[in-house]
A and B are shown apart, each in its own frame.
Chain A
């Protein structure tokens, strides 16, 4: 079974630009979550999509947005990039259940550098 695939692996952008990151979840998984990892801050939850609907949202500004397609693939968009947006962006997929056996499966991430 293929794992979670994130593209691209690395991105370099300049301030003010926008960027789109892509995530293909594990086959059969309907939930995709996005996290931002920065040194000293751990993994910060951005949002979760389930069946093409945003189900949960973290405390990030509106410049961060996402969407999910009917095949469960998800994209995350960051507009008007700031230097502080430089981070590793991780996508996680799961079945989307709320029972105790639910687990997140992570991709390798997209390393975004904003210059």
Chain B
């Protein structure tokens, strides 16, 4: 049972424009959400996170939005750069340090 879902396997965006990656979840007990970025042949690296008590967190070009009523999470990248091309995974945690990951969205930023 996939508790965290990323329904878009891929996304292409022009350099300089906004990239919006979406994530939906089903478990209302999730208390912490994260986004990871993964390049081929490397492990995922942490990008940005948000606690369930907040609805927005910003770090430079990256902003994560959380809509708890809709059980929806999104990552905005502005402006998008070619180096942002990677697979992005959203993840959610229940208390106790067990993390659930989505299936990933492959972002391609076109120069």
Residues of A close to B103: CB separation below 8 A? 40-42
Tell me if B34 counts as interface (CB < 8 A to partner A): yes
The answer to whether A103 and B96 have CB atoms under 8 Å apart is no
The interface size of chain B toward A, counting residues with CB under 8 Å, comes to 28
Which of chain B's residues has its CB closest to A105's CB? Answer: B46
Is chain A's interface secondary structure helix, strand, loop, or mixed overall? strand
Is B100's beta carbon under 8 Å from chain A? yes
B83 within 8 A of A: no
A42 to B43, Cβ gap below 8 A?
no
Closest A-chain residue to B95, C-beta based?
Answer: A98
Whether a CB of chain A sits under 8 angstroms from the CB of B51 is yes
Q: Is the CB of A108 within 8 A of B97?
A: no
**Nearest CB of chain A from residue B68's CB, rounded to whole Å:** 15
Quote the shortest CB–CB distance from B53 to chain A (angstroms): 8
Complex Cα distance, B100 from A42, in Å, reads 10
Would A98 and B89 be within 8 Å (CB), given that A42-B104, A43-B101, A108-B42 are in contact? no
With A104-B99, A108-B42 known, 4 other A-B pairs at CB within 8 A are A50-B97, A56-B98, A98-B96, A108-B43
Chain B residues packing against A (C-beta within 8 Å): 2, 4, 6, 31-32, 34, 36, 41-46, 49, 51, 89, 91, 93, 95-104
